[in-house]
Structure 1
Amino acid sequence: MNMPDKMRAAQIVEYEKPYQLCERSVPQCGDNDLLVEVYAAGFCHSDLQVWNGQFPATLPMIPSHEPAGKIVQIGAKVQGSWKVGDRVGVLNYKNACGQCAGCRQHGRRAKRPDPRFCQNRIVAGFKYDGAFADYMLADPNTTVHLPDGVSFEQGAPLMCAGATVWGALRKLSPQVQAGDAVAIVGIGGLGQLGIQLAKALGYRTIAMDNREQGRQLALDLPDHLRPDLIMDSSAKDAEEKILEFTSGEGLAGIVVCTDSIPANAWCLQQLGNGGVMVPLGLPKDSWKFDSEAMVFHELTIKGSYVASAEEVESMLKVVAKHGISSHLTVLSFTEIPSLIERYQHASMKGRLVINMKG
């Protein structure tokens, strides 16, 4: 395939200023790389933090870490069953050094190199060029095949939002089992996927949000993926409803998809004995949890970064089997400069995705 020399891209030139559309050189596919033509790229809360300068990078930089597309070139030393034309999703961490402590620790357990904890990893869309471009380089170790039944637009958010909440749900086990009561708190892009995945895993599921838009997202899900209870977490009788739903025992597990410090502190209190909480937000200030509740009820708080490539592949099978999908607002490439404004608008719900071919 003859590749063009130039490509369209959107980049951050200055923090807290609109993305700028530009022309960049197509990246050169190295011996260990996959070159992916991007068909869809998502925008999530972390992208807002990147835009704010919370993760300092050398500018200009191409943002977005939720790509889906097709392989157009394969490096000479790439191993595996990759073919030109394969439909793929690309996770944002890549190029494990294989030598650092993180690589050694996790390499002993992983089937293939796992750059998530590599001290020298590249994190595309955060500190290095990401997916708001016609082409991007991918690491075959953190690239996954996209099932035929999953569109590029639906596949893109699964590379971060899906991978993040799937990883959190898997962290609930072995303490939390199918049939146990689990709450997903904060029903936005992560939470809406979290509800559906929790239902697919067999949990009795509560969707909690203090916003009407979030509760409506949960209500709009198809019957087989709709939560067993949808509730306003700020309501005066919220705790009473949780106890009623759990026969007075409290929740077995809770995944918190908001960085609100008070909300996280409240969520811990809703767990029953031996309960597990996985917080996913990244507040600027430290979390504050009740030590007495943790000790006397033997609660567990588990950190969860994002799922590995193997875990994402298992998630994609569940997504395809159960018809799990995100509520999407799909924009064209030329609308990227308006992304921040759209994302911060009060009416925004679900996920924003750029159709790079639109």
Structure 2
Amino acid sequence: MAALHELPSQMRAVYLREYNKPYELVTVDVPNIRENELLVEVHAAGFCHSDLQVIHGQFGTKLPIIPSHEPAGVIVQIGSKCSGPWKVGDRVGVLNFKNACAKCVGCSLSQKRYRNLDPRFCDNRETAGFQHDGAFAQYLAADPATTVLLPSSLSFEQAAPLMCAGATVWGALEKATSGLEPGATVAIVGIGGLGHLGVQFAKALGFTTIALDSRQAGRDLATEVPGGLGPDLVLDSTASDAAEKVLAFTKGEGVAAAVVCTDSIVANTWTLRLLRVGGVMVPLGLPPDRWQFDADVLVFRELVIRGSYVSSAESTRRMMEAVGRSGVRSHITTVELDDVPGIVDMYQEKNFRGRLVVKMRD
């Protein structure tokens, strides 16, 4: 196995030992990678809403576990049977799903659909930060099939949120806007960690963009983006005339596509009515109750509601190319490793905006 330097035998990491309890700082063994894996020295790792769900036991995670599924870092070791043109020293981001079995029904169907083995749909895949150790550690075992190179202009702290939040909303946008005419109007509903990236991605792809949020903090965040990537219209989604203003802005048509970055059933139901004939909506939230959509508007306008998982590695590479071209950036708050036990309280503060990223290296 190729290695950047002599590796330590142990590393600092974070453990979740009990549901609904604070994270703990621990010292554990550095992972021994398999022949088909990469060892990544983690420089930054994001805290995502899904990490909070893991803490609450919503995924039935076997504990203890090293949390986080948004890593960015440097390849320091390459397994002897790794596929791809990987080099020690490459700057990379790693998606959370890995090591497809190539034998199950999910693998078979993904190969037929995508002409490639896609670990997202493997029945036996590993999911870093959910069911297997993740990125709140100094080293992480990665699958080359779900590892992507980072643009040279992108810092590790900026790259980390793109490996889940960015990949999720980018994949949804690709599905929602497939085949749309240049300049078509796209709505991003819910401007938080996903939504403020969604606004930038939509602009980077050349679409007219509307940002909608019920919170002033969300609407403010929509405008605090790099030059040229801000929305064309920002609206309070709870205002009595919000839908009327959307229709006026689109000359009575309605929006061509919408990506909804909230699990509010009310917001999703309302958003469906903003779509033009043949419009597409992609809901990304996972509400505890079942979806409820208006059958009349769905049928008579021939609308499409599309499911979307996190992006594939191929789609994530397209995202990174767009980020490198356009300068998409996350609104991040960085946290030192020693301060991770208090990260949940930071995330749940009423006025918190954007993404939390842990610096795993000085």
| TM-score of the aligned structures, taking structure 2 as reference length | 0.97
Secondary structure at 1:274 match in 2: strand
Question: What residue identity is the alignment partner of 2:17?
Answer: V
Q: Deviations over 1:53-74 (max 9, x none)?
A: 1111110000100000000110
Secondary structure at 1:81 match in 2: coil
What residue number does 2:357 align with?
Answer: 353
Distance 1:109 1:101 in 2: 12
Tell me by how many angstroms 1:113 deviates: 2.5
Secondary structure at 1:331 match in 2: strand
Q: Deviations over 1:123-165 (max 9, x none)?
A: 1101110000000100000000011111000000010011000
User: Equivalent of 2:112, from 108, 114, 133?
Assistant: 108
Tell me if 1:264 matches 2:268. Answer: yes
Preserved CA contact (<8 Å) 2:226 2:327: no
Tell me if 1:26 matches 2:30. Answer: yes
Tell me by how many angstroms 1:99 deviates: 1.2
Distance 1:276 1:47 in 2: 29
What residue number does 1:194 align with?
Answer: 198
Preserved CA contact (<8 Å) 1:175 1:276: no
Secondary structure at 1:13 match in 2: coil
Superposed, which structure 2 residues align to 1:159-238 within 5 Å?
159-238=163-242
Tell me by how many angstroms 1:110 deviates: 3.9
What residue number does 2:338 align with?
Answer: 334
Tell me by how many angstroms 1:111 deviates: 6.0
Distance 1:259 1:315 in 2: 24
Question: What residue identity is the alignment partner of 2:41?
Answer: E
Distance 2:34 2:298 in 1: 49
Tell me if 1:315 matches 2:310. Answer: no
Which stretch has the larger CA shift, 26-35 or 176-185?
176-185
What residue number does 1:91 align with?
Answer: 95
Which stretch has the larger CA shift, 167-176 or 243-252?
167-176
Preserved CA contact (<8 Å) 2:15 2:23: yes
Structure 2 residues without counterparts, runs of 5 or longer: none
Tell me by how many angstroms 1:112 deviates: 4.5
Secondary structure at 1:79 match in 2: coil
Question: What residue identity is the alignment partner of 2:175?
Answer: K
What residue number does 1:306 align with?
Answer: 310
Secondary structure at 1:72 match in 2: strand
Secondary structure at 2:177 match in 1: coil
Secondary structure at 1:16 match in 2: coil
Secondary structure at 2:239 match in 1: coil
Q: Deviations over 1:231-268 (max 9, x none)?
A: 11011110111011111111111000000111111111
What residue number does 1:37 align with?
Answer: 41
Tell me by how many angstroms 1:270 deviates: 1.1
Secondary structure at 1:231 match in 2: strand
Distance 1:2 1:278 in 2: 47
Preserved CA contact (<8 Å) 1:69 1:152: yes
Preserved CA contact (<8 Å) 2:260 2:283: yes
Runs of 4+ in 1 over 6 A off after TM superposition: none
What residue number does 1:46 align with?
Answer: 50
Distance 1:280 1:75 in 2: 35
Distance 2:74 2:115 in 1: 24
Question: What residue identity is the alignment partner of 2:340?
Answer: I
Distance 1:111 1:188 in 2: 34
Superposed, which structure 2 residues align to 1:144-163 within 5 Å?
144-163=148-167
Tell me by how many angstroms 1:284 deviates: 1.1
Distance 2:98 2:356 in 1: 24
Tell me by how many angstroms 1:174 deviates: 3.2
Secondary structure at 2:228 match in 1: helix
Tell me by how many angstroms 1:2 deviates: 1.3
Tell me by how many angstroms 1:108 deviates: 3.1
How many residue pairs end up in the alignment?
358
What residue number does 1:62 align with?
Answer: 66
Tell me by how many angstroms 1:175 deviates: 4.8
Distance 2:241 2:15 in 1: 46
Tell me by how many angstroms 1:176 deviates: 2.9
Question: What residue identity is the alignment partner of 1:72?
Answer: V
Question: What residue identity is the alignment partner of 2:132?
Answer: Y
Distance 1:68 1:86 in 2: 11
Distance 2:254 2:34 in 1: 53
Tell me by how many angstroms 1:173 deviates: 3.3
